[in-house]
Amino acid sequence: MAAARGLGKGLDIMLPDKIGSANSEGKNKPEIGKDVVYVKIGKVEPNREQPRKNFDEDTLLELSESLKQYGILQPLLVQDKKDYYEIIAGERRWRAAKIAGLKEIPVIIKELTDQEMVEISLIENIQRENLNPIEEALAFKRLIDEFQLKQDELAERVSKSRTAVTNAMRLLKLDERVQQMVIDDLLTTGHARALLSITDNDKQYTLAQQIFDEKLSVRETEKLIKKLQKQKAEEPKVTEDHDLSVFFEDLEQKLKNIMGTKVFIHQKNKEKGKIEIEYYSTEELERIMELFQSIHQMEN
Protein backbone atom coordinates (compact mmCIF):
# COMPACT_ATOMS: atom_id res chain seq x y z
CA MET A 1 0.00 0.00 0.00
CA ALA A 2 1.34 3.37 -0.94
CA ALA A 3 1.73 5.80 1.91
CA ALA A 4 2.18 9.55 2.00
CA ARG A 5 5.32 10.72 3.75
CA GLY A 6 5.26 12.59 7.01
CA LEU A 7 2.80 14.97 8.65
CA GLY A 8 4.78 18.12 8.06
CA LYS A 9 7.67 20.13 9.44
CA GLY A 10 8.25 19.62 13.15
CA LEU A 11 6.57 16.20 13.48
CA ASP A 12 9.71 14.14 12.90
CA ILE A 13 7.74 11.22 11.50
CA MET A 14 9.12 9.01 8.74
CA LEU A 15 6.79 6.30 7.45
CA PRO A 16 8.54 2.90 7.20
CA ASP A 17 8.64 0.24 4.54
CA LYS A 18 7.76 -2.62 6.92
CA ILE A 19 4.10 -3.31 7.63
CA GLY A 20 3.08 -5.75 10.33
CA SER A 21 0.51 -6.49 13.00
CA ALA A 22 0.30 -5.04 16.47
CA ASN A 23 -0.24 -8.57 17.75
CA SER A 24 3.20 -9.70 16.55
CA GLU A 25 5.54 -10.98 19.25
CA GLY A 26 9.23 -11.76 19.65
CA LYS A 27 11.42 -11.05 16.65
CA ASN A 28 8.41 -10.03 14.58
CA LYS A 29 7.28 -7.43 17.09
CA PRO A 30 7.06 -4.03 15.36
CA GLU A 31 9.84 -1.59 16.14
CA ILE A 32 8.59 1.39 18.14
CA GLY A 33 8.35 4.52 16.06
CA LYS A 34 9.33 2.88 12.78
CA ASP A 35 6.93 0.15 11.65
CA VAL A 36 3.42 0.58 10.32
CA VAL A 37 1.10 -1.92 11.97
CA TYR A 38 -2.59 -2.66 11.58
CA VAL A 39 -4.71 -2.63 14.72
CA LYS A 40 -8.41 -3.13 15.36
CA ILE A 41 -10.17 0.22 15.21
CA GLY A 42 -11.93 -0.58 18.48
CA LYS A 43 -8.54 -0.64 20.24
CA VAL A 44 -7.81 2.96 19.22
CA GLU A 45 -9.14 5.90 21.22
CA PRO A 46 -8.74 9.67 20.83
CA ASN A 47 -6.54 11.74 23.08
CA ARG A 48 -8.79 13.59 25.51
CA GLU A 49 -6.29 16.45 25.58
CA GLN A 50 -6.33 16.81 21.81
CA PRO A 51 -6.43 20.55 21.00
CA ARG A 52 -9.07 20.11 18.33
CA LYS A 53 -12.60 19.73 19.72
CA ASN A 54 -14.79 20.41 16.68
CA PHE A 55 -14.99 18.21 13.60
CA ASP A 56 -17.08 19.11 10.56
CA GLU A 57 -19.53 16.29 9.89
CA ASP A 58 -19.76 16.95 6.14
CA THR A 59 -16.01 16.76 5.59
CA LEU A 60 -15.85 13.60 7.72
CA LEU A 61 -18.48 11.98 5.49
CA GLU A 62 -16.53 13.00 2.38
CA LEU A 63 -13.33 11.53 3.82
CA SER A 64 -15.12 8.32 4.84
CA GLU A 65 -16.25 7.80 1.24
CA SER A 66 -12.64 8.18 0.11
CA LEU A 67 -11.47 5.70 2.75
CA LYS A 68 -14.00 3.11 1.55
CA GLN A 69 -12.35 3.23 -1.88
CA TYR A 70 -8.68 3.71 -1.09
CA GLY A 71 -8.23 2.99 2.60
CA ILE A 72 -6.09 5.13 4.92
CA LEU A 73 -3.03 6.23 2.95
CA GLN A 74 -1.32 7.86 5.93
CA PRO A 75 -1.05 5.89 9.20
CA LEU A 76 -2.19 7.40 12.47
CA LEU A 77 0.39 8.22 15.10
CA VAL A 78 -0.49 6.50 18.40
CA GLN A 79 0.95 5.71 21.80
CA ASP A 80 0.60 2.31 23.46
CA LYS A 81 -1.43 2.65 26.67
CA LYS A 82 -1.37 -1.16 27.28
CA ASP A 83 -5.15 -1.55 27.17
CA TYR A 84 -5.61 0.64 24.12
CA TYR A 85 -3.77 2.87 21.66
CA GLU A 86 -4.13 6.62 22.21
CA ILE A 87 -4.17 8.82 19.13
CA ILE A 88 -1.41 11.41 18.98
CA ALA A 89 -2.14 12.57 15.45
CA GLY A 90 -4.85 11.51 13.02
CA GLU A 91 -8.12 11.67 14.97
CA ARG A 92 -9.99 12.98 11.92
CA ARG A 93 -8.90 9.91 9.91
CA TRP A 94 -9.93 7.66 12.80
CA ARG A 95 -13.40 9.23 12.97
CA ALA A 96 -13.85 8.93 9.21
CA ALA A 97 -12.65 5.31 9.30
CA LYS A 98 -15.31 4.47 11.89
CA ILE A 99 -17.98 6.05 9.68
CA ALA A 100 -16.63 4.07 6.72
CA GLY A 101 -16.91 0.86 8.73
CA LEU A 102 -13.21 -0.07 8.58
CA LYS A 103 -12.28 -2.85 10.98
CA GLU A 104 -8.52 -2.20 11.09
CA ILE A 105 -6.43 0.90 10.59
CA PRO A 106 -2.69 1.48 10.04
CA VAL A 107 -0.77 3.11 12.88
CA ILE A 108 2.76 3.97 13.93
CA ILE A 109 3.41 3.44 17.62
CA LYS A 110 5.52 6.10 19.31
CA GLU A 111 6.76 6.60 22.86
CA LEU A 112 6.34 10.27 23.71
CA THR A 113 6.26 12.51 26.73
CA ASP A 114 3.05 14.40 27.54
CA GLN A 115 4.63 17.59 26.22
CA GLU A 116 5.66 15.94 22.95
CA MET A 117 2.12 14.58 22.50
CA VAL A 118 0.59 18.03 22.90
CA GLU A 119 3.16 19.60 20.62
CA ILE A 120 2.69 17.05 17.84
CA SER A 121 -1.12 17.20 18.05
CA LEU A 122 -0.96 20.98 17.95
CA ILE A 123 1.54 21.13 15.09
CA GLU A 124 -0.41 18.65 12.97
CA ASN A 125 -3.65 20.58 13.41
CA ILE A 126 -1.99 23.94 12.76
CA GLN A 127 -0.35 22.68 9.60
CA ARG A 128 -3.62 21.21 8.38
CA GLU A 129 -5.48 24.35 9.50
CA ASN A 130 -7.88 22.17 11.46
CA LEU A 131 -8.02 24.26 14.64
CA ASN A 132 -10.32 27.20 15.15
CA PRO A 133 -8.60 30.27 16.68
CA ILE A 134 -9.83 29.53 20.23
CA GLU A 135 -8.68 25.89 20.13
CA GLU A 136 -5.29 27.05 18.90
CA ALA A 137 -5.05 29.65 21.68
CA LEU A 138 -6.02 27.09 24.34
CA ALA A 139 -3.37 24.68 23.05
CA PHE A 140 -0.74 27.43 23.22
CA LYS A 141 -1.83 28.27 26.75
CA ARG A 142 -1.59 24.66 27.84
CA LEU A 143 1.95 24.31 26.51
CA ILE A 144 2.99 27.48 28.33
CA ASP A 145 1.19 26.72 31.59
CA GLU A 146 1.87 23.00 31.94
CA PHE A 147 5.34 22.80 30.47
CA GLN A 148 6.66 26.24 31.44
CA LEU A 149 7.50 27.23 27.89
CA LYS A 150 8.14 30.87 27.10
CA GLN A 151 6.29 32.42 24.20
CA ASP A 152 9.39 32.66 22.03
CA GLU A 153 10.20 28.97 22.74
CA LEU A 154 6.64 27.99 21.88
CA ALA A 155 6.71 30.07 18.71
CA GLU A 156 9.85 28.28 17.56
CA ARG A 157 8.38 24.84 18.28
CA VAL A 158 5.19 25.46 16.30
CA SER A 159 6.91 27.40 13.51
CA LYS A 160 5.05 30.63 14.13
CA SER A 161 6.20 34.14 14.99
CA ARG A 162 6.12 35.25 18.60
CA THR A 163 3.64 37.97 17.61
CA ALA A 164 1.31 35.37 16.10
CA VAL A 165 1.39 33.34 19.31
CA THR A 166 0.79 36.44 21.45
CA ASN A 167 -2.12 37.61 19.29
CA ALA A 168 -3.67 34.14 19.33
CA MET A 169 -3.55 33.90 23.13
CA ARG A 170 -5.06 37.38 23.56
CA LEU A 171 -8.33 35.94 22.23
CA LEU A 172 -8.71 34.04 25.51
CA LYS A 173 -9.35 37.41 27.22
CA LEU A 174 -12.64 37.65 25.35
CA ASP A 175 -15.92 36.93 27.09
CA GLU A 176 -16.66 33.18 26.87
CA ARG A 177 -19.85 33.88 24.89
CA VAL A 178 -17.81 35.82 22.33
CA GLN A 179 -15.21 33.03 22.21
CA GLN A 180 -18.01 30.58 21.39
CA MET A 181 -19.13 32.85 18.54
CA VAL A 182 -15.59 32.63 17.14
CA ILE A 183 -15.66 28.84 17.53
CA ASP A 184 -19.02 28.71 15.72
CA ASP A 185 -17.54 30.83 12.92
CA LEU A 186 -19.99 33.66 13.60
CA LEU A 187 -17.09 36.09 14.08
CA THR A 188 -13.69 36.23 12.41
CA THR A 189 -10.44 36.66 14.31
CA GLY A 190 -10.34 40.23 12.96
CA HIS A 191 -13.67 40.98 14.61
CA ALA A 192 -12.54 39.25 17.79
CA ARG A 193 -9.32 41.25 18.06
CA ALA A 194 -11.25 44.49 17.59
CA LEU A 195 -13.57 43.50 20.45
CA LEU A 196 -10.63 43.06 22.84
CA SER A 197 -10.62 46.81 23.45
CA ILE A 198 -14.10 46.51 25.04
CA THR A 199 -13.41 45.50 28.65
CA ASP A 200 -17.02 45.16 29.84
CA ASN A 201 -18.04 41.55 29.09
CA ASP A 202 -21.75 42.25 28.63
CA LYS A 203 -21.07 45.20 26.31
CA GLN A 204 -18.55 43.10 24.43
CA TYR A 205 -21.09 40.32 23.88
CA THR A 206 -23.85 42.76 22.92
CA LEU A 207 -21.55 44.37 20.37
CA ALA A 208 -20.52 40.95 19.04
CA GLN A 209 -24.19 40.13 18.45
CA GLN A 210 -24.64 43.47 16.66
CA ILE A 211 -21.64 42.73 14.44
CA PHE A 212 -23.15 39.37 13.46
CA ASP A 213 -26.71 40.65 13.04
CA GLU A 214 -25.68 43.62 10.90
CA LYS A 215 -22.98 41.66 9.05
CA LEU A 216 -20.39 44.34 9.82
CA SER A 217 -16.96 44.08 8.24
CA VAL A 218 -13.83 44.24 10.39
CA ARG A 219 -13.22 47.83 9.27
CA GLU A 220 -16.81 48.80 10.11
CA THR A 221 -16.43 47.10 13.48
CA GLU A 222 -13.26 49.03 14.26
CA LYS A 223 -14.94 52.32 13.34
CA LEU A 224 -17.95 51.51 15.52
CA ILE A 225 -15.75 50.65 18.50
CA LYS A 226 -13.73 53.86 18.10
CA LYS A 227 -16.97 55.83 18.01
CA LEU A 228 -18.25 54.14 21.18
CA GLN A 229 -14.95 54.71 22.97
CA LYS A 230 -14.95 58.38 21.98
CA GLN A 231 -18.47 58.79 23.34
CA LYS A 232 -17.45 57.09 26.56
CA ALA A 233 -14.40 59.37 26.93
CA GLU A 234 -16.63 62.42 26.54
CA GLU A 235 -19.28 61.27 29.02
CA PRO A 236 -17.49 62.40 32.23
CA LYS A 237 -16.83 65.84 30.70
CA VAL A 238 -20.47 66.23 29.68
CA THR A 239 -21.62 65.24 33.16
CA GLU A 240 -19.12 67.58 34.81
CA ASP A 241 -20.12 70.50 32.58
CA HIS A 242 -23.76 69.82 33.34
CA ASP A 243 -23.07 69.81 37.10
CA LEU A 244 -21.17 73.12 36.86
CA SER A 245 -23.97 74.67 34.82
CA VAL A 246 -26.52 73.77 37.49
CA PHE A 247 -24.19 75.14 40.18
CA PHE A 248 -23.79 78.53 38.45
CA GLU A 249 -27.51 78.78 37.72
CA ASP A 250 -28.13 78.36 41.44
CA LEU A 251 -25.55 81.05 42.24
CA GLU A 252 -27.15 83.41 39.72
CA GLN A 253 -30.51 82.97 41.39
CA LYS A 254 -29.05 83.65 44.86
CA LEU A 255 -27.29 86.82 43.66
CA LYS A 256 -30.48 87.95 41.92
CA ASN A 257 -32.35 87.61 45.20
CA ILE A 258 -29.68 89.63 47.03
CA MET A 259 -29.28 92.32 44.36
CA GLY A 260 -32.93 92.64 43.39
CA THR A 261 -31.98 92.64 39.69
CA LYS A 262 -30.74 90.30 36.99
CA VAL A 263 -27.29 88.79 37.54
CA PHE A 264 -25.37 86.67 35.02
CA ILE A 265 -22.28 84.55 35.64
CA HIS A 266 -20.13 84.04 32.53
CA GLN A 267 -17.88 81.00 33.02
CA LYS A 268 -14.60 80.90 31.07
CA ASN A 269 -13.32 77.71 32.70
CA LYS A 270 -13.46 75.98 36.08
CA GLU A 271 -11.51 78.77 37.77
CA LYS A 272 -12.25 81.97 35.83
CA GLY A 273 -15.25 83.98 34.69
CA LYS A 274 -17.09 87.25 35.25
CA ILE A 275 -20.28 88.47 36.94
CA GLU A 276 -22.65 90.80 35.07
CA ILE A 277 -25.16 92.87 37.08
CA GLU A 278 -27.90 94.70 35.20
CA TYR A 279 -29.44 98.07 36.26
CA TYR A 280 -32.12 100.10 34.54
CA SER A 281 -31.69 103.61 36.05
CA THR A 282 -29.26 105.80 37.94
CA GLU A 283 -31.34 105.31 41.03
CA GLU A 284 -31.06 101.50 40.73
CA LEU A 285 -27.30 101.76 40.27
CA GLU A 286 -27.04 103.89 43.41
CA ARG A 287 -29.14 101.30 45.28
CA ILE A 288 -26.79 98.52 44.22
CA MET A 289 -23.77 100.59 45.28
CA GLU A 290 -25.34 101.26 48.67
CA LEU A 291 -25.92 97.52 49.00
CA PHE A 292 -22.24 96.81 48.36
CA GLN A 293 -21.22 99.53 50.86
CA SER A 294 -23.46 98.10 53.54
CA ILE A 295 -22.00 94.64 52.99
CA HIS A 296 -18.50 96.09 53.16
CA GLN A 297 -19.28 97.90 56.43
CA MET A 298 -20.71 94.72 57.93
CA GLU A 299 -17.49 92.86 57.15
CA ASN A 300 -15.41 95.58 58.76
Q: What is the pLDDT of residues 212-257, one digit of tens each?
A: 999 999 999 999 999 888 887 766 554 556 666 777 777 878 888 8
β partners of residue 276: 264
Least confident interval from 75-89, 117-131, 280-294: 117-131
Average pLDDT, the chain: 78
Enumerate the H helices of 148-300 as residue ranges. 151-157, 162-170, 176-183, 189-195, 201-213, 218-259, 282-299
288, 259 Cβ separation under 8 angstroms = yes
Cα–Cα distance for residue pair 239/245, rounded to 1 Å: 10
pLDDT for position 250: 79
Residue among 86, 91, 135, 136 flagged as catalytic: 91
The count of domains in the chain is: 1
CATH code of residue 99? 3.90.1530.30
pLDDT at position 20 over 80: no
Domain that holds residue 66: 1-112
Any domain includes 59: yes
Q: Is 91 a catalytic residue?
A: yes
Does residue 235 lie in a domain region?
no
The answer to whether residue 145 scores a pLDDT higher than 90 is no
**Cβ pair 48, 56 in contact under 8 A:** no
Any domain includes 295: no
C-alpha 101/C-alpha 95 separation (Å) is: 10
Reply yes or no on whether the pLDDT at 116 is more than 50.
yes
Domain membership of residue 154 (yes or no) is no
CB 44 within 8 A of CB 90: no
- Identify the residue with better confidence: 125 or 271: 271
Residues 6+ apart with CB under 8 A from 22: 30, 37, 38, 39, 43, 85, 107, 109
Q: Is 10 part of any domain?
A: yes
